[in-house]
Amino acid sequence: MATGVGAATKAVIPLAGLGTRLFPASRAVKKELMPVVGPDGLARAMIHCHLIDLVAAGIEEICLVVQPGDEEAIRAYFAAPDADWLRRLEKSPGLADEARRLPEFNERLRFAVQGEAEGYGHAVYQSRAFAGGDRVLLCLGDHLFRGAPVSPCRELAELAARSGGRCVSAVNRIGPDQLKGYGAIAGVRFPDNPRLIDVTRIIEKPDEAAARRELRVDGLGDDEFLGWFGLHLLAPSIYEVLEQMIRDNVRDHGEFQLTRAQEMLRRREGYLALEMTRGERFDFGTPADYLESLARFAQPPR
């Protein structure tokens, strides 16, 4: 495979959703600011945990795509506490140091605004100026990721150097009952790296019959498919495709969908997927998932 220009150093996290699945709590606290407890016992906002992982993965700048007016609350969270707060925190080992590190994340943050809820692809398109012609690591805003010895974020970001300029999406194995919630792929594995897949088809939330007919990948069982993991390494050309879709009003179910743009780009220049066999994904999108992921994320990495 061709060699690229280096690992990705920019990430994009769409956060402009209303958080309706976590209503009414999401009226009081933005979903990305809801608390998550890590293995170290500290309670952090979900977006804080996400940024820690991205910075550890070598990401230097992070663009948050938000609703109008949301930047202020996120900036306030990452602002340094005042002197009185710091004095109180000194009584608890480690908390004052944690507080002093918060502004370091603020320095890395950039913001783009999605004025209207026009779909995930539309949200991603708002980050075009931030990308500035560079490749970006796109991360679902209501998910966290973890892996050992290398995090999924780092592994995907580093693939930028050897993916031949193509997009790469992380995928994992899902069953027939999960197809309705994910984009899914067909493809052929590379003999020298079976986890890496040359994608031949991408379908958003396929029904089971279509998946069995069109979305096969060698090495999977009869009831196994490969669906989106929640991380995508996007080439700059994705923004050109999204711009075309928005200009031509190409919608699915009333919205501009990223998955359609990914399939269009695959046809033009090819597309890769990386099967995540070691990394963990924590989904905080629904009340049931939130509870389950809270319990799992508090445990040490597997």
Domain CATH for 139:
3.90.550.10
pLDDT at 282 > cutoff 80: yes
Residue 5 lies in a domain: no
3: in domain: no
Phi-psi region of 34 (alpha: psi -120 to 50; beta: other; left: phi over 0): beta
Per the domain annotation, does 4 fall within a domain? no
Q: How confident is the model at residue 19 (pLDDT cuts 50, 70, 90)?
A: confident
% pLDDT > 70, the chain: 98
Q: Mean pLDDT across the stretch 286-295?
A: 96
Is 59 a domain residue? yes
Give the Cα separation of 111 and 269 in Å (integer).
29
Lowest mean pLDDT, pick from 89-98, 162-171, 231-240, 263-272: 89-98
Range of the domain at 203: 10-297
CA distances from 252 to 101, 204, 238 (A): 42, 10, 17
Q: What is the pLDDT of residues 161-179, one digit of tens each?
A: 889 999 999 999 999 999 9
* Residue 72: pLDDT over 80: yes
Q: How many residues does the chain have?
A: 302
The pLDDT of residue 148: 74
What is the mean pLDDT of the segment spanning 111-123?
96
pLDDT confidence of residue 127: 98
Domains held by the chain: number: 1
28 pLDDT higher than 70: yes
Nearest residue to 152 via CA among 282, 292, 45: 282
Residue 78 reports pLDDT greater than 80: yes
pLDDT at 1: 36
Distance of CA 107 to the CA centre of its chain: 20
pLDDT of residue 301: 85
pLDDT value, residue 166: 95
- Rounded-to-integer distance, Cα 174 and Cα 179, Å: 7
**pLDDT greater than 60 at residue 2:** no
Q: Which of 39-53, 88-102, 206-220 has the lowest mean pLDDT?
A: 88-102
Residue 114, domain member (yes or no): yes
- CA gap 105, 49 in Å, rounded: 11
pLDDT in tens, 56-69: 999 999 999 999 99
Gap between the Cα atoms of 160 and 59, Å rounded: 12
Confidence class of residue 3 from pLDDT cuts 50, 70 and 90?
Answer: very low
Q: Determine the Cα–Cα distance for residues 279 and 60; give it in Å rounded to an integer.
A: 22
Residues 99-114 as b/e (b if ≥16 CB within 10 A, e otherwise) read beeeeebeebbebbeb
302 domain residue, yes or no: no
Task: Classify residue 181: in a domain, yes or no.
Answer: yes
What's the CA gap between 78 and 73, in Å, rounded? 9
| Structural domain contains residue 67 | yes
